[in-house]
Amino acid sequence: MYDAVVLGAGPGGYAAAIRLGQRKKKVAIIEKDKIGGECLNYGCIPSKAIIELANSINYLKEMPGVSINYNVDMKKWQEWKWSMINKLTGGVELLLKAYGVDIFRGTGYIQDKNHVKVNDKVLETDSLVIATGSKPVSINGINDVMYNREVLDLDHIPSSIVIIGGGYIGVEIGIALAKLGSKVTIVEMMPSILPGTDNELVRHVVRRMSQLGINVITGRKVLSTAKNGEVTVKLDDGQELRAEKVLMTVGRIPNTEGFGLENLKLAMDGRFIKTDSRKMTSVKGVYAIGDVSGQPMLAHKAYYEADIAADNICGIDSEVDYRAMPYVIYSDPEIAYTGVKGAKSTRFPVAANGRSLTMNENIGTFNIYYDEKGIVTGAGIAAPHASELISEISLAVESGLMAMDIGLTIHPHPTVSEGVKESAEEVYGKPLHF
Ligand code: FAD
């Protein structure tokens, strides 16, 4: 008899299992593919690895006075990438074992809220954590395309690629491939790429993408694809695009089928499993976390929800609070935002930040949002390493800090983080360098 059975070993599932194990609960985790889930194996980690590779090469290519000859052996690089990922996932597996979690390899099937079948074994449990993640959306008539798994596993850089979908995954991979020498076209149905993200931030990325020679087509739908050597992509305005490869990144849907979910008769929220603020579903003792339980589909949201579910399973009353949730797009420049816009906002340009200039970077902005009382409500940053800067603002939102506090805090020089400080200085005066 287990205290908890966790279905799926992605960031949501493995984190919940480790947290429960750390508190001496008897836990089983079931994984049908790889420990680490989509994020560690086919998503966050490999996509950031190829972005790092592309950025490193492009950095020197664009540096005035530098000329380089380089050659990327993608087969060797892929071997390195998988060895790096295997170190990470192997570490997670060691942790699971160290905390006494039983690992079952196979597809779990929910018989009822207290019984999950895996292979020929039925595990009995008090609590159940569903962390089955998500998969890419596919569309009828759009064939011969790659999805995230295939594009991140390519053994060569394609000479040309059409990316269907200009959300964060398409934009991140498109920019990386363009820097590695592909001729990249991105087709987005909405009027702008990165729909849902503040245009005040997105416009900096659009400018950079145009510098990198990326062809962005917006407001157009892809009707079909056909392969004849190259792949031809037909758009709704009659345009035909041809490329060596086509990547589909038009969104992801939660994994809710094929594992007996229907036996629980859970309340749903559209395609997602509905949960309350404790991450419990409509059935007592059954929790759902991560991508399967709602937007945003992000790994750090899955980690966070794993903590909340684990707390509640251990009898600690814990509720989600997403107010300070950070969002990051690993574009160029990186975009990161958190919280909400307040009544007021500050702005400081990347072009006035010394450290950014040493990196030959001058595109972007540091915007801090605050309310009438001067309390930080959020921020939007488009800047080098914005992904590393946003946590300062999430902490400020979480702690109810005054925007002034950020401006008055000594930040090390020269750093990109000074852009955040100088932006906040505008609340009570003027930034030093603008
Ligand atoms: P998953 O990671 O999808 O894990 C679910 C696991 O459950 C899988 O391993 C699956 O095999 C297993 N499973 C499913 N059904 C069963 C079953 N019946 N029995 C046994 N096992 C089962 N997020 C970020 O925060 N930052 C990023 O930079 C980022 N980059 C991304 C880049 C790409 C290309 C992609 C595709 C995604 C990216 N994401 C990123 C999103 C991130 O990967 C997901 O939000 C995260 O993986 C969700 O974790 P999860 O545990 O909910 O699900």
Over residues 336-383, the pLDDT tens digits come to 999 999 999 999 999 999 999 999 999 999 999 999 999 999 999 999
Percent of the chain with pLDDT over 90: 99
In a domain, 432, yes or no: no
State the chain's mean pLDDT as an integer: 97
How many domains does the chain contain in total? 3
**109 has which bridge partners?**
117
Do 421 and 378 sit in the same domain of this protein?
yes
User: Among residues 138, 141, 182, 192, which one has the least CA distance to residue 162?
Assistant: 182
Confidence of residue 237 (pLDDT cuts 50, 70, 90): very high
Do 129 and 263 sit in the same domain of this protein?
yes
67-89 pLDDT tens trace: 999 999 999 999 999 999 999 99
Predicted local distance difference test score (pLDDT) of residue 71:
95
Q: How far is the CA of 241 from the centre of ligand 1 (A)?
A: 31
Last residue of a domain, one of 292, 314, 336: 314
Q: How far is the CA of 37 from the centre of ligand 1 (A)?
A: 5
Do 23 and 129 sit in the same domain of this protein?
yes
Q: 333 preceded by cis ω (within 30°)? A: yes
The residues, any chain, with a CB within 8 Å of residue 264's CB and separated by 6 or more, are: 110, 112, 113, 281, 283, 286
Do 10 and 104 sit in the same domain of this protein?
yes
Do 356 and 303 sit in the same domain of this protein?
no
Q: How far is the CA of 408 from the centre of ligand 1 (A)?
A: 40
Last residue of a domain, one of 314, 342, 360: 314
Tokens, residue 249: 């990144």
Q: What's the CATH code of the domain at 265?
A: 3.50.50.60
Do 44 and 124 sit in the same domain of this protein?
yes
Phi, psi of 252 (to 5 degrees): -130, 150
Predicted local distance difference test score (pLDDT) of residue 156:
97
98-122 pLDDT tens trace: 999 999 999 999 999 999 999 999 9
Whole-number Å distance between alpha carbons of 230 and 185? 14
**Ligand 1 pocket, Cβ-based, cut-off 6 angstroms:** 7-13, 30-33, 37-39, 43-44, 47, 107-108, 131-134, 148, 169, 255, 259, 290-292, 297-300, 302
Atom of ligand 1 nearest to the CA of 259: 18
The residue whose C-alpha atom lies closest to atom 43 belonging to ligand 1 is 39
Angle, CA 183 vertex, CA 193 and CA 244 arms, to 5°: 105
CB 127 within 8 A of CB 9: no
**233 has which bridge partners?**
225, 241
Mean pLDDT of 247-253: 97
Relative orientation angle of helices 11-22 and 74-98, to the nearest 10 degrees: 30
Atom of ligand 1 nearest to the CA of 300: 25
* Residue among 7, 30, 38 whose CB has most ligand 1 atoms within 8 A, to mutate: 38
Which one of the listed residues 115, 385, 411, 413 is annotated catalytic? 413
Token pair 């404790």 is found at 278
User: Among residues 242, 214, 217, which one has the least CA distance to residue 228?
Assistant: 242
**367 has which bridge partners?**
347, 380
For strand 222-228 and strand 115-118, is the pairing parallel, antiparallel, or unpaired?
unpaired
Do 123 and 101 sit in the same domain of this protein?
yes
In a domain, 320, yes or no: no
Q: How far is the CA of 288 from the centre of ligand 1 (A)?
A: 13
Question: Helix, strand, or coil here: 78?
Answer: helix
Distances (CA, A) of 231 to 235, 266, 374, 377: 13, 42, 54, 46
Mean pLDDT of 408-431: 97
Phi, psi of 226 (to 5 degrees): -145, 140
Last residue of a domain, one of 271, 293, 314: 314
In a domain, 298, yes or no: yes
Give pTM, 2 decimals: 0.97
Q: How far is the CA of 67 from the centre of ligand 1 (A)?
A: 40
Q: How far is the CA of 255 from the centre of ligand 1 (A)?
A: 10
Atom of ligand 1 nearest to the CA of 33: 11
Do 296 and 213 sit in the same domain of this protein?
no
The residue whose C-alpha atom lies closest to atom 53 belonging to ligand 1 is 133
Predicted local distance difference test score (pLDDT) of residue 317:
98
Containing structural domain, residue 238: 148-250
Confidence of residue 247 (pLDDT cuts 50, 70, 90): very high
Q: 191 preceded by cis ω (within 30°)? A: no
Do 130 and 19 sit in the same domain of this protein?
yes
Mean pLDDT of 290-296: 98
Question: Helix, strand, or coil here: 203?
Answer: helix
Predicted local distance difference test score (pLDDT) of residue 254:
98
Active site residue 413: yes
In a domain, 143, yes or no: no
Helix (H) or strand (E) holding 55: helix 44-62
Predicted local distance difference test score (pLDDT) of residue 124:
98
In a domain, 142, yes or no: no
The residue whose C-alpha atom lies closest to atom 50 belonging to ligand 1 is 133
Do 290 and 198 sit in the same domain of this protein?
no
Token pair 């992904």 is found at 387
Whole-number Å distance between alpha carbons of 335 and 409? 23
